[in-house]
Structure 1
């Protein structure tokens, strides 16, 4: 499993691992507006050692800043969402109480569904069942990240570099309770950390052997809309050659 957005771009699997908040969901929406592109994941997906991307079409978390990209999802009677300027505060509060709430599954399920931070929508409701792709061979991998510069920077990366970032990013994006469980199992020798991370790294590295890997740094000052437009431009210019 990897923390990434994934699309089936006319038969070519595109892997976009990234930190949270970079613009994965917005990028997927822009790419799905193109003909022949299928949804695979906007947050978490699977990568096989044979280089196959496998979808994980879990519910999407739609936030206020997605209104311009998914206007239909904000029409009619809907669960109210907090204004965009309140999202960071609500997000920090949710992170703080998460370790307590996850101890009570029903409460956790209720808060996920009714949180004013986001709206949960299944991909089929957004794009239609015919636009959902279950698997595609990986043909492009771009690690997305934000930085303090003023211009986007695209640079080629090695398979080793991409593997390290994907494995580290996956662990970092896990819920705190999951990270602590992994660390506890490693500390007690139940599942040594070198074994835990090594097995995942071996699968990722083998999967990406023949896949062009890139690192794309996006200005932190860019909105999700602006960043996703640039990412789509890179994907199209690379695969439409």
Structure 2
């Protein structure tokens, strides 16, 4: 099986595998960018069995080996090689987050990922950087009804140092509390799956370190049922909620509105500096990519990638972009219910942001 992806002509990806689940799982991240074919892929992903460890490789630990331009992990079943500005990845599963690999090439083009939601309003970009479970998806569920709004992503976005935002619409992560905001799902089969989440989470935790997990995943996949991907949420394609013509592509940024929940009583709006904004997004990205940090450190150990430079490049891109736009932080009480919280946020956007565009 083969699949091709072209992310804004910045990063091109090619996957060739005998495992349909590999493409299925990477589709959660980059489904929107699937194309018929790409020439000269920046990232090629193949089956783990195709990799041959060079004879002159060096052992870093019982399971980790390094060689010129790459690393090999026999325990986690992956090999990663960077050569001539091209990345080759050999895998048995998608445990290596594709976003962290894409970031390597984004930075070479003066771009970086940002964890947050994004829209354009009357052709001007607005981003909502935020940690997980802050209300990004809920906000998008509200704003999608506005005729002047185009959708860029509810979890990740791409920003460039010149102040441009590019869309990156990954599949939505839908939890049970989202259903009241997405009425089209209320009577769907997805609702039934979520209702079973409590029991599924118990199963996931019970088998997560056992060989039987692989067998259960195959059974689940056969029945088109993905409960072992988390147990408490579902991945639903963004196109299920938003028409294709409502998706944005690239747009000039005008505002960044950081969302944060805090242990207080008042809904607050503050202005923040570009330096503070940059530190916030770096901290959020590092938290999101914790599982991939050992890969970065291994690549750094063998001189394949300079992780300190990697972080500094993110800082430079973000700082340059943020100095061109207006920056706000919205502090929302932890105990404020979703409907009230979204109502206050919409009111702020209407009065202080949309009316000035």
For 1:37, the equivalent position in structure 2 comes to 149
Bigger RCO of structures 1 and 2 (CA < 8 A, at least 6 apart): 1
Is 1:71 equivalent to 2:186 in the alignment?
no
Instruction: Provide the C-alpha distance between the structure 2 equivalents of 1:81 and 1:123, rounded to a whole number of angstroms.
Output: 18
In the other structure, the counterpart of 1:7 is 119
CA distance in 2, matches of 1:101, 1:209: 51
Contact 1:79/1:119 (<8 A) preserved:
no
Q: Distance in 1 between matches of 2:154 and 2:214?
A: 26
User: After superposition, where does 1:7-156 map in structure 2 within 5 Å?
Assistant: 7-78=119-190, 80-83=192-195, 86=198, 90=201, 97=208, 110=221, 114-115=226-227, 116-156=231-271
Supply the distance in 2 between the matched residues of 1:136 and 1:129 (Cα, whole angstroms): 17
Deviation of the 1:189 alpha carbon: 5.2
Query: 1:49-74 CA distances to partner (integer Å, 9 max, x unpaired)?
Result: 11111001121112210111101122
Cα shift at 1:191: 3.1
Compute the TM-score of the two structures, normalised by the length of structure 1.
0.84
| Displacement after TM superposition at 1:186 (Å) | 4.3
Deviations 1:8-50 (A, max 9, x none): 1221111111010011000011111112101110001100111
Asked if 2 retains the 8 angstrom alpha-carbon contact of 1:143 and 1:215, the reply is yes
Superposition RMSD in Å: 3.2
Preserved CA contact (<8 Å) 2:197 2:233: no
User: How many aligned positions are there?
Assistant: 234
Residue in structure 2 matched with residue 160 of structure 1 by the alignment: 275
- Residues of 1 paired with 2:273 and 2:196: CA distance? 37
Q: Which has the larger radius of gyration?
A: 2
Structure 2 match to 1:178: 292
Q: Which has the higher helix share?
A: 1
* Number of the residue aligned with 1:225: 339
Is the contact made by 1:62 and 1:121 (CA closer than 8 Å) also made in structure 2? yes
Greater per-residue strand proportion: 2
